[in-house]
Structure 1
Amino acid sequence: MDRRPPEPESEEISLYVTTYYSLLRSTGEVRVRAFEEAHAFSGSSLHLGALSDVPDLSAFAYAAARLPDEMLDVEHVILGQSHELFEAAGYDVREWKIVKTRGRRRPLRYDGGRQLGVFIASASDIDDLVPILTAYQIEWNKMHERLRRACESAEALHETAKDAVALASALGVSVDDAQKLIDAIGPKRLERGSRALFEKRSDLKIRMLAASHSQYQRAAQRWWGGIEPSYIRKTEPRRPPVYFISSNTHAIANLVGGYAQSHTDEIVSWARREDPEGLGPEVDRAARTGDPTELAPLLYYLLRGYIHAAKDTKKMNEVRAFEAAQGLVHLSEPGHIDVDAQIAKLGEIDPKLIDPRLRIPGIERLVESDAVILNIDYPLGMAAYHLLSRVGQGVGDLRGIYVMGKAATLNGRVGDVMLSGVVYDEHSRNTFLLRNAFTARDIAPWLRHGSVFDNQKAVTVRSAFLQSKEYMDAFYSSGYTVLEMEAGPFLGGVYELVNPKRVPTDEIVHLSAHTPFDVGIVHYASDTPYSRRQSLLSKSLSFFGVDSTYACAIAIVRRILELEVKRLSDAG
């Protein structure tokens, strides 16, 4: 077989990765500026303006969305794998404030002053975070220099920043780019952000606390330790059969939990009254059709806003109690690891309350099932390998592994769905061949706006920043059209679940013939690097993404229900 992985990797990117890993081995702090030259010359597709004097606001906005608002004050970033490591180094992170970002799920702690603690779950967090911090600092300092020349004071800059046209003139960028900066800082923080941009250059420092492979495994063990008490039963089988899904925390819950379906009138009334995101008229139109499949995507999308419109947690507690009665249990940050999980007992699902598109023939037999769905909030990169490996050690009969996530597409459009049978993994340099449980006909009936492409080839990348235009050209010329971050590590975990040895490196790995359970990988396109209409990673899916997200989730849950009903029917 002709094995042609999408190589060679850019020498500049390899040098960049080597640079930050070698420097972060230091026991002390490392200035981010030590990475700037290697970063700028890496040719990152996400930071094409790194070498230019003109600020690259797309790169800055991308980085800022994946860092907390408190970055305006942060000077020291500490990376660690556990509370114990932080505390041994003198950082009492248990007392620090929990902070979050808009674009990345990662446990963060802020001391209220100049220090940010970052919990890392795998090497992928390092590959993701270091380029983000470096891009942030490079672009911050470009803007600082230009704005100091253009404005007399921080107050003058604040007035300038209120108007995208004036800000564009001060920065020497387009009005659209100036608006990206305003959006990245946020209207509520515009005065603070303007002052910080005017008054100080960024001089971030990173310290990594003794990272080790065994610590990643210990973190996975703590995570499973937070799930296991809810998974194990008092009656036989104590460890019930499992269908494993990596997706998000809302799609599976909304499809099988039934809350939105049974509270349609309340959610519709709220949407008509409040008109969230201007969707009120669309909700009204869908409600008038009388077609529950027309209304369902809106109900699911608006449910979060409906819940959080209440000033207290009463509504959220009501939703969780309702779902628990349907056999669905939510586990938030099990083991203090920021990968939420859900357990759905198939035997307790109410067919009358689930999404109507899940009502397959024979669904009434589910009451006989002792199996569960274990759904986790998709982990980043190599964390997927560590967590799946631990799941495999802790569960009983594993009947299916399904991975659903976002990806960049080199030949499609945002909202399309891609199904791959070949995955090249940058981490292991393996090419995985699998018999994907899904084809286009499994997704297409539930997708209203996009297209479905099966028989695709995917590349699991180390980081969004660690890709150059030349590298992506190599992907495309080799027939690889999907860029994502989890499939390779998950498939490495699958290999070790069915083989007596560790996953190899730099080989063709056949999973098709001897994997005794279902394996399905489904991606929906959130980015189009080759599009001339849209810059890389600049489009938020928002409500537009609900269509492809739920089409994928429906296909996965239907597959599980069909397998389970068939198994029960065959058993008599």
Structure 2
Amino acid sequence: MIELLRDLNVGLNEAPTEQAMAQLSALTNIPNHHIDRLGQIWGAQTLRTLLDIAETKLELNIRLLAGSLADYGRAVRYWWRNVETEIPFDDYSERPTYFVSSNTHTLANLLSGYALAREAELVKFMADNDLRELQDLYQITLGAQGAGRENLLYYILKKFEQQYPDQIEERIQHERQQGIYRIAVRHTFDIEVQLIALNQLASDTFDGRLLLPQIDHLKRSDALIINIDYPLGMAANLILEEIVYNLQEIRGIFSIGKAATLNGRIGDVMIPSVIHDEHSLNTYLFDNCFVAEEVVPYLQDGSVMDNQKAITVLGTFLQNEDYMSVFYEEGYTDMEMEGGPFLSTIYEMVRPKRHPHNEVVDLHNAPFLVGFLHYASDTPFSKGNNLGSRSLSFSGMDSSYAVAIATLRKIIASEV
């Protein structure tokens, strides 16, 4: 391996050729697309970096964020105090709140109208940068009903801001004018928070797929949306617990995001009504407020499967075929990393005691909306596609926006 890398590593400041990458793939038994991803990350330093790895003895030390549950609790409290100092409303704790766990771009894009307002500029950006495939897709969306023009503009906006990062601040200021506040992370958990004031939103700038009858009544609502950026594992339990301790009224808890599917395809949407949690070993039964009909109209490709059984796993690289087959034979088809801990917190919100362990738990009586929507980003039964290993790129826009639209429509319908 070292000799091959030395032979290939002639031009230290040049990106490796396709032939060199193919040789590396064959020698290391690493699939071509994974080798190509390393090339995208390291660029001209790919071969030099691989040679350094092969030649250098390395010892890794892992430093835990905290050493005990009490330490984790203090870290979460410290994180939330930072968030509180940035919240622009003195009465936030008294206002009804919808909690959402998702990414940090879909809700803001759908509600702010920023990308749609800059459509002409984004179209020019595609032409100036010769993004022909995206240009062809854009022309298709102009001539077809419901063909994802908005989703494409959101995707182009991301590329635009990657090339012109100075434009990001303009978008953030536009969002603030629309009642969407981003709270950056300063300490402990790397989890961004968005606070959305429903009565400050301008419905005339919404993505058209959000327009419900009497949407103008949203101005009368004093409700907030707290959107956090995917806390995984027990962080989900601790963070939701800290948030609900500081709020008087929760009207809904929603978790929308990526998952692995054991029986579907990339881009499918799964709606679970049972989640087995490997942290508490509990199996939670609950009334998922979403049904397939609320997602289907906004999904161009893929299928929507409701009444699914999900499992919250401990980590992204702990699954193998034998392990997953056990759950698949029991009817579990949806693997993710935060549903179980969220449900453990929900249990403590509706019962006067801590969540149990290794029990079947019925949460059908929750007095607020509980919603889980997962879109398939991985097929771990396929070789090399473990949970979390895949980047969906534009192919993931369809399902990620479909579940975000369904979630926002659910919230809006509850408030108008």
TM superposition score normalised by structure 2: 0.91
| Aligned CA distance change for structure 1 residues 277 and 510 (closer, same or farther; 3 Å) | farther
Q: Is residue 471 of structure 1 aligned with residue 323 of structure 2?
A: yes
Q: What does the per-residue CA deviation read over 1:274-303, in whole Å, with 9 as the maximum and x for residues that have no partner?
A: 2448412222443x4386863100111111
SS in 2 for 1:560: helix
Q: 1:177 aligns with which of 24, 31, 34?
A: 31
- 1:432-447 map, 5 Å: 432-447=284-299
1:106 maps to none
Q: State the 1:203 CA deviation.
A: 3.2
Instruction: Return the alpha-carbon distance in structure 1 between the equivalents of residues 358 and 313 of structure 2.
Output: 15
Note the C-alpha offset of 1:226: 2.1
1:350-499 equivalences under 5 Å are 350-499=202-351
Cα separation, 2, equivalents of 1:429 and 1:507: 7
The CA distance in 2 between the partners of 1:525 and 1:275, in whole Å, is 31
Counterparts of 1:339 and 1:400 in 2: how far apart (Å)?
20
2:341 partner letter: P
Which amino acid in the other structure matches residue 342 of structure 1?
A: Q
TM-score, normalised on structure 1? Answer: 0.67
Q: Per the alignment, do residues 176 and 241 of structure 1 end up closer, same or farther by CA in structure 2, a change over 3 Å counting?
A: same
Q: 1:223 aligns with which of 51, 56, 79?
A: 79
Encode CA deviations 1:391-414: one digit per residue, 9 max, x unaligned: 101112100000011111000000
Within 1, Cα distance between the matches of 2:319 and 2:204?
47
Deviation at residue 219 of structure 1 after TM alignment: 1.5
Kept after mapping to 2: 8 A contact 1:422/1:433: yes
Q: Tell me: CA distance 1:439–1:148, structure 2 relative to 1, closer, same or farther (3 Å).
A: same
SS of the aligned residue for 2:226 comes to: strand
Alpha-carbon separation, structure 1, partners of 2:4 and 2:339: 47
Shift in Å, 1:326: 0.9
- Following superposition, the deviation at residue 334 of structure 1 comes to 5.3
8 Å Cα contact 2:275/2:340 also seen in 1: yes
- Asked if 1:200 is matched to 2:56, the reply is yes
- How far apart are the structure 1 equivalents of 2:21 and 2:110? 45
Are the equivalent residues in 1 in contact too, given 2:14–2:45 (CA < 8 A)? no
**Conserved? CA contact 1:417–1:525, under 8 Å:** yes
Task: Check 1:335–1:267 CA distance in 2 against 1; reply closer, same or farther (3 A cut).
Answer: same
**Match 2:154 to one of 300, 305, 308:** 300
Q: Does 1:269 align with 2:124?
A: yes
Distance 2:174 2:94 in 1: 25
CA distance in structure 1 between the partners assigned to 2:169 and 2:21 by the alignment: 45
Aligned-residue CA RMSD (Å): 2.6
**Structure 1 segment 39-78 matched on structure 2, within 5 A:** none
- State the shift of 1:309 in Å: 2.5
2-side partners of 1:151 and 1:306: how far apart? 36
* Aligned equivalent of 1:51: none
> 2:140, 2:147 within 8 Å by CA — same for their partners in 1?
no
Residue matched to 1:11: none
Equivalent of residue 524 in structure 1, options 375, 391, 415: 375
Aligned equivalents of 2:183, 2:258: Cα separation in 1: 23
1:178, 1:293 → 2: CA distance? 32
| Alpha-carbon spacing, 1:396–1:167, altered in 2? closer, same or farther (3 Å) | same
User: Are 1:310 and 2:161 matched, yes or no?
Assistant: no
- Report the secondary structure of 2:381's partner residue: coil
Q: Distance in 1 between matches of 2:161 and 2:10?
A: 40
Structure 1 residue 188 and structure 2 residue 39: aligned?
no
User: Which whole-Å CA distance do the structure 1 matches of 2:96 and 2:408 have between them?
Assistant: 15
Query: Would the alpha carbon gap of residues 350 and 523 (structure 1) be closer, same or farther in structure 2, given more than 3 Å must change?
Result: same
Give yes or no for the alignment of 1:548 onto 2:399. Answer: yes
- Tell me if structure 1 keeps the 8 A contact 2:348–2:355: yes
In 2, Cα distance between the equivalents of 1:485 and 1:394? 24
How far does the alpha carbon of each residue in 1:241-273 deviate from its partner, in whole angstroms, 9 at most, with x for none?
101100000000001112112222222221222
Amino acid corresponding to residue 551 of structure 1 in structure 2: A
Q: Is the 8 A contact 1:261 1:354 kept in 2?
A: no
Match of 1:44 in 2: none
Distance 2:201 2:123 in 1: 24
Q: Within 5 A, what are the aligned runs for 1:203-282?
A: 203-208=59-64, 211-231=67-87, 233-234=89-90, 239-276=94-131, 278-282=133-137
Tell me if the contact between 1:160 and 1:166 (Cα under 8 Å) persists in the aligned partners.
Answer: no
Find the structure with the greater CA-based Rg. Answer: 1
Does the 8 A contact of 1:232 with 1:238 survive in 2? no
Flag the 1:274–1:292 CA change in 2: closer, same or farther, 3 A.
farther
Paired with 2:108 and 2:115, the residues of 1 have a C-alpha distance of 10
CA contact (8 A) 2:267 2:395 kept: yes
Q: Distance in 1 between matches of 2:11 and 2:174?
A: 51
Matching residue within 509, 513, 528 for 2:361: 509
- The structural deviation recorded for 1:447 is 0.4
Report the CA distance between 1:305 and its aligned residue: 2.0
The CA deviation string for residues 52-77 of structure 1, in whole angstroms up to 9 with x for no partner, is xxxxxxxxxxxxxxxxxxxxxxxxxx
In the alignment, the residues of structure 2 paired with residue 369 and residue 554 of structure 1 have an alpha-carbon distance, to the nearest angstrom, of 19
Percent of aligned pairs sharing the same letter: 40
Q: CA deviation at 1:151?
A: 5.8
Q: Give the Cα–Cα distance (whole angstroms) in 2 for the partners of residues 319 and 203 of structure 1.
A: 43
1:155-182 CA-partner distances (Å, limit 9, x unpaired):
4597999345455556754887256335
Q: Is the 8 A contact 2:21 2:35 kept in 1?
A: no
Paired residues of 2:103 and 2:228 also in contact (CA < 8 A) = yes
The question of whether the paired residues in 1 share the 8 Å contact of 2:109 and 2:115 is answered with yes
Supply the distance in 2 between the matched residues of 1:545 and 1:321 (Cα, whole angstroms). 27
User: Aligned partners of 1:497, 1:450: CA distance in 2, in Å?
Assistant: 35
- Any idea what SS the aligned residue of 1:437 has? coil
The residue number in structure 2 matching 1:101 is none
Shift of 1:199: 2.1
Contact 2:76–2:188 at 8 Å: present in 1 too? no
Cα distance in structure 1, aligned partners of 2:6 and 2:86 = 60
Instruction: Say if 2:15 and 2:45, in contact at 8 Å, map to a contact too.
Output: no
Q: Is the 8 Å Cα contact of residues 295 and 406 (structure 2) preserved in structure 1?
A: yes
**Mapped partners of 2:32, 2:147: distance in 1:** 40
